[in-house]
Structure formats: structure tokens, C-alpha cells
Copies of this chain bind each other. A is one copy, B any other.
Amino acid sequence: MKQIPVAVIGASGFTGLELIKILLNHPRFEIAFLGGSEGGDLLESHPSLKGVYSAAIEKSDVDRIADRAALAFLAVPHKQATAIAKALLDRGVKVVDLSADYRLNQANYEAAYGVKHGDLDNLQTAVYGLPELVGRAAIASARLTANPGCYPTATILAALPFLPYADLTAPIIVDAKSGVSGAGKQCVDRTHFVNVNENCFTYAPIVHRHAPEIKEKLSSAAQQPIEVVFAPHLLPITRGMLSSVYLRQKAPIDDPAAIARKFYAENPFVRVRDESVQIKWVAGTHYCDLFCRSHAGVLFVQSAIDNLLRGAASAAVANANLMCGLPCETALPAIAYAP
């Protein structure tokens, strides 16, 4: 019954693991290729999979991938994705790129990442893979989707229903908090247990590379330039993300939750809550939970997502579903890890 062969490039990382976990339960996708910068045994990277699934991680040769897979997930560092994506697209393989390489327009990309973009042709046609923003149809017809960053996903989903109600001449304030898995598997000072545990701090406030992504996408949605003041924080937890979004209102808003509910009426994976959202209620799932409250002319909207799922792997599978003609929600994880 599994008919669509897919590749996961970057299988040894956290996002690679999450992709594999979803794909193992997917009724229509089957894993046809696991790629990495070096070959190796999947179980060495992910010992939890012992007895569940065993496979080799292979060197990411594009011809081999194209031989075996109809669609590839790229979970590789930014700046490394363009070369692989271009080669795969040339060989007729659809691509969901989880790196930052196709998220921004050329000018914003080059300013944020300090390099020339390596694949301008495909950048023109890449679709930003946030269905709530661009529509499912746009993704369904795409050959290349740029999976959104985790902070932008959480923030845009919070802000989007309220753009028509907001005075966008005032900057949107985003105070966001992420678990450590968002920083990847590599050991650096910022991921050392002792530096994270019993601690909390902002990193790269204002200048974080997700700020231009939020700004570009919200400006485009609102069709007017929007400023964003963005302060990302590291939380002493493994997975999950909260984004507090503060918008200046144009006029009093009676029932912001009703606005959000109406906006997301067709989106079962957005839950608008009457009480504060909690990371624990979404960790392990594709859900984005929202909570909103208005005070003193300011709208406070808070979103909670799992940074590795809705902020990466399950969002990628949702895009792949659409690109392959499957229902968007196919195999997206819905049962949280709570307690």
C-alpha cells in the first residue's frame, strides 16, 4: 500500500529522526533513501530505533536519490541545501527543503546569510510551505517547497488572523521561547547542559535570522511593510516553543478568540484555546495552539508548537502530502507526549 518512495537527507540529526518517526507510520510514503554527509548505521545515530527500523545512512549522492525517490526531504544546514535541491529538481525529484535556503527573497537571503544565493532559478518558483499563509493549492502544485522556520511558523500563525485588525505602522513585538533541540545535535556552548539548565536568556535578540523571515512573510501577507522586534529565548527543555506576539490594535476587539477560530475553521491542527496555551499540550504533535487576549489597545496572542514537528518535520510531511496529492493531514502526529 505504501507507494511513494521518499528520501530523508540529513537522517542523523534531530529533524531527520522526527521525519523517520512520522514516515514509519505513514500509509503512503515509504522511506527509500536515508542520506547523510557520511554513511553509517542509522542505529548509531538513533539508538532508540533499535528493533523498530534498521537501515543504512548513505552518502547523499543525487543520482542514487533520484533513482529511488520521488520526493526528498532536505534536513541539511542552510547554504548546503541549494546544491542538492537544484540537482534533485533537475532529476525530477520533488523537494521539501527544511533549511533556510529557499525561504527568503534574494535580497533578504543574501543580507541575512551573507552569501550569494546559489540557485536563483528555483528560488523564483519555490513555494513557502506554510499552508495557512499561502494556501494548500499553491503547495500542491509546487515542485519545491521551503519549509518555514520554527519561530516564523509559531509567530505567523499567531499574527495572521489579526493582521486586518492591527495597526501595522507599529512594529509587531515577538517574545519567543524555544527548547534546545532547535539548536541541533551539535555540541556547542549554548547546548551544554550546565549552561542551559536552571537558566533562560535571549540569544541574537533583534538580529536573529528568523526575524527577516517573519518580517518578509507578514509584510507580504499584509501587503504593507511591517517591522518586527524579535527576541528569541532558550528554554531549559528539549522540545517545544512559545511565541508571544503583541500587536497594536486599530480599534477595540471584542472577542479575539472568535476571530482566530473563524480564520482557522478549516485547519484542524490549529486549536484556539480559552485558557493559556502550554508547550506540554502540543509537544509530540503537529498542533499549533493559540491563546489571545486584548488589553489597553494591545492584542496579546500566544502560540505553542513543537519546534521539531510543526516547526520542522511534521510541517514538511504536510507539505509533502500536498505535493503528492494526499490529504494534508495524512499521518500528522496528533497525540501529545504529555504527561
Contacts and interface: CB of A to CB of B under 8 A. Distances in A.
Contacts of A238: 193-194, 197-198, 339
Question: How many copies of this chain does the complex contain?
Answer: 4
A236 B233 contact: no
Contacts of A118: none
A310 interface: no
B193 A300 contact: no
Interface string A242-257: 1010101000000000
16 contacts: A17-B338, A48-B336, A49-B335, A50-B281, A51-B334, A185-B194, A187-B188, A198-B239, A198-B240, A202-B291, A202-B302, A227-B295, A228-B296, A229-B300, A231-B300, A284-B337
Interface string A16-28: 0100010011000
A188 to B, nearest CB: 6
A237 B194 CA distance: 8
A201 B187 CA distance: 19
Interface of A: 14, 17, 21, 24-25, 46-52, 170-171, 173, 175, 177, 180-181, 185, 187-189, 191-203, 205-206, 227-229, 231, 233, 235-240, 242, 244, 246, 248, 268-269, 271, 273, 275-285, 287, 291, 293, 295-298, 300, 302, 304, 308, 334-339
A28 B15 CA distance: 32
B194 A192 contact: no
A21 B335 contact: yes
Contacts of A277: 201
Given A175-B175, A200-B177, A302-B202, A192 B193 contact: yes
Given A171-B295, A205-B291, 10 more contacts: A17-B338, A17-B339, A25-B335, A177-B177, A191-B192, A198-B237, A198-B279, A200-B235, A201-B304, A205-B276
B194 A14 contact: yes
A236 B177 CA distance: 12
